[in-house]
Amino acid sequence: MTDRANPPPLRAVRIEAKCPICEKRGVPDYRPFCSKRCADIDLGRWLKEGYRVPTDEAPAEGEGAESGSTRQTG
Ligand SMILES: [Zn+2]
């Protein structure tokens, strides 16, 4: 039983997109953002992450010397 000639009615789902930046209501033009500004902010963040190339990150370099009094036993 396949009645594929009668597709289900596509009901426009009301998506309440919240601006991920300021959590305001998004506008269709900049969905899900509320404005171009917020879109840019998000884009900037995204680009930052994307452009972050894996560099040979050195481990947290400290002074090297461990602070502590060394006792001389002898
Ligand atoms: Zn916003």
**Domain-located, residue 6:** no
**Domain-located, residue 37:** yes
- Residue 10 corresponds to which amino acid? L
Report the pLDDT value the prediction gives residue 17, as an integer from 0 to 100.
Answer: 77
Q: Check: pTM over 0.75? Answer yes or no.
A: no
Looking at the chain, list the stretches that DSSP marks H as alpha helix, in order from N- to C-terminal side: 36-51
Rounded to the nearest whole angstrom, what is the distance from the C-alpha of residue 38 to the centroid of ligand 1? 5
**Domain-located, residue 42:** yes
Residue 38's nearest CA partner among 25, 53, 55 is: 25
User: Residue 34, class by beta-carbon neighbours within 10 Å (0-12 exposed, 13-18 middle, 19+ buried)?
Assistant: buried
Domain CATH code at residue 34: 3.30.50.10
- Judge whether 21 and 33 are in contact, CB under 8 Å: yes
Rounded to the nearest whole angstrom, what is the distance from the C-alpha of residue 10 to the centroid of ligand 1? 29
Which domain, by its residues, includes 31? 15-51
Express each pLDDT in 13-60 by its tens digit: 565 678 999 999 999 899 889 999 999 999 999 888 886 666 677 667
Into how many domains does the chain fold? 1
**Domain-located, residue 47:** yes
Rounded to the nearest whole angstrom, what is the distance from the C-alpha of residue 51 to the centroid of ligand 1? 23
